[in-house]
Structure 1
Amino acid sequence: MEFRGLMGGLYRITEWIMRLSVINLLWVLCSLPFFLLGLILLQAQTSDQVFQMFFLMCVVSPFTLFPSTTAMFSVARKWLTGEEDAPLLKTFFRGYKSNFLQSMLGGLIYIILGVILYTNYRFYGGQSNTFGILRFLVLSLSVILAISLFHFFSILSHLHMKLLQIIKNALLITIGSPIRSLSLIVLISVIVYISFFKFTFLIPFFMGSLIAIVSFWHFNLIFGKLQMKQQELLEKEAETAEADPESEKKQDGSEDEHETSTEPKALRSEETPADLRGEATSSPGNDQRESEHTKKEQP
């Protein structure tokens, strides 16, 4: 039975509260070792204890936090692409299983890059000469890396790509869309601040799912804009080919002559920054991603 009016609105609100809380609880449970170490970290009294707990969190996060976060993003993708009634448990654990390896390896790469940037920041921060200014550059790179991490989860849950392609495109999207990137990090910072310092009950029930929705919403806007630009470019190329077919034939002949001495055209086209085309399978209401997980290339 479908409710209307005030009762319908209340029903929708409670339904979404249930959805967000269920996915967030699954995220916390699948990342339980990471969060337990985080609780111990908050109770640490010495710098050595803080370092040890932080080190252990970095070790376990690629195997727990990253796969569960990708699974949570898979559910957020369903919601934001028109499949609000997708089964929560099935979608979550399917995304967890199918993306586990890439999530784990991507987590290791991001952890290593984060440690390198942190080490450089500590080194340049202790310099009193001109080199001390470089810590601001390292800090900027750290912010870019942090924002690209959320795009990494969105791309991984949305597209079929090799691991290095996902990381590359996540970085290029972050740099190529500075306004969206700033908006994303500001909103996530607000959610984290409210969750930790205002309403701590949001952490186990809503914090992660809200971050996933905000992150994928930003990515979906950027991805849609890139698709529109690509479509416009293809239409212009088609119009040019119709207007001057002779030049197209000459161009094709020229490419055939140089085929043996240069890289194949298909390979060169994959180098287009942030094109996100090669193995894109998703669109509103499209469930092709899940049906092709068994065929997905491993990194």
Structure 2
Amino acid sequence: MEMKGAMGGLYKLTEWITRIAFSNILWVICTSPFLFIVLTKFLMAVQTPDAHNEQLLSNWMLGILSPFVLFPATAALFNVVRKWVMGNSDVSVFKTFFRGYKENYKQSMIGGIFYTLLFVIMYVDYTVYMTQLDGFQLVGIVMLVLLIVLFVSLFNFFSMTVHYEMKTLQLLKNAVLLTLIRPFRVFSTLIGSAVLVYIGTQMPVLFVFFLFCLMALFAFFNFYATFTKMQEQQEKMKKAEEESETEQALLESMDSVKKEENGSKP
């Protein structure tokens, strides 16, 4: 009996490892042009650190590719992990991934354009304030903080893209607002992702098979926990309001009866 249970647990673990690895590989394939430029940029920085023009060209290429390649593929990956977190672990990874890719492509692309433009503008401002304008380093630090908040809000953006039916501007606004209102879980996602990236630097093969999917899984898990908690609080507030309205109606009714009784007395 114990052997049967152990075999069942091992089979379940193997099944989950396969799902995570397959989802991660699909994401890597769909983002391969972007990842190729990132790898080229990294190797160039190591081998020829003085190649500033080539680095600048790489940055431009990454900025152009991000909305059309990185964002749609990441939304598709979040669509898969959303099913898992919500209890639908037996869904087809391939079908769910590419259904999410197709359904969310336009919205994630438009959101990617907004995010990319904001990142570029804020990064340029940060660089100018920190390196070229004396006495404006404080403004540069503020820009750096805003850049971090904007980056962290990406986790909420992808989670909300696959979980809600909203217009793109609403998604962008709500992703940033949720980051500011509920920073603990989102920043814990950032810290967890940083740990996974560090592990990946020690064993780069993990990037291909596991790490990006694990980041998305952790991010959506935190988002869904926040979403569930906010729903519970909203229901409690609604219930409290209904009880308050009931009590108010009861008090008004009792007060009316009291007045009538007082009026009938000689």
Question: Given the alignment, which residue of 73, 86, 90 partners 2:78?
Answer: 73
| Residue deviations 1:30-65 (CA, integer Å, cap 9, x gap) | 112111111221222211111111210110111111
Aligned-CA RMSD value? 1.7
- The one-letter code sitting in structure 1 at the alignment partner of 2:218 is V
Q: Secondary structure at the match of 1:85?
A: coil
| Residue deviations 1:5-30 (CA, integer Å, cap 9, x gap) | 22112111111110011001110111
- Distance in 1 (CA, whole Å) between partners of 2:133 and 2:102 is 49
Call closer, same or farther: CA 1:38–1:240 in 2, change over 3 Å: same
| Residue deviations 1:194-251 (CA, integer Å, cap 9, x gap) | 11x2010011111110110010011011101110111011111211221223999xxx
Call closer, same or farther: CA 1:117–1:4 in 2, change over 3 Å: farther
- The one-letter code sitting in structure 1 at the alignment partner of 2:75 is T
Instruction: Note the C-alpha offset of 1:181.
Output: 2.4
- Distance in 2 (CA, whole Å) between partners of 1:153 and 1:230 is 23
Q: Does 1:209 align with 2:192?
A: no
Q: Does 1:186 align with 2:191?
A: yes
Q: Which has the larger radius of gyration?
A: 2
Q: Secondary structure at the match of 2:217?
A: helix
More helix by share: 2
Equivalent residue number for residue 200 of structure 1? 204
Q: Which moved more, 1:121-130 or 1:71-80?
A: 121-130
Percentage of pairs with the same residue: 40
Q: Does 1:142 align with 2:150?
A: no
Q: Does 1:225 align with 2:237?
A: no
- Distance in 1 (CA, whole Å) between partners of 2:75 and 2:166 is 14
Equivalent residue number for residue 240 of structure 2? 236
Equivalent residue number for residue 272 of structure 1? none
Q: Does 1:26 align with 2:26?
A: yes
Call closer, same or farther: CA 1:68–1:128 in 2, change over 3 Å: closer
In structure 1, list runs of 5 or more residues that go unmatched.
249-299
| Residue deviations 1:128-178 (CA, integer Å, cap 9, x gap) | 643112111111111100110111000001111111111111111111112
Instruction: Note the C-alpha offset of 1:126.
Output: 1.4
Length-normalised TM-score, structure 1? 0.79
Q: Secondary structure at the match of 1:239?
A: helix
Equivalent residue number for residue 130 of structure 2? 125
- For these two proteins, the number of residue pairs brought into alignment is 245
- Distance in 2 (CA, whole Å) between partners of 1:209 and 1:116 is 29
Equivalent residue number for residue 173 of structure 1? 178
Call closer, same or farther: CA 1:172–1:247 in 2, change over 3 Å: farther
- Distance in 1 (CA, whole Å) between partners of 2:183 and 2:250 is 41
In structure 2, list runs of 5 or more residues that go unmatched.
253-266
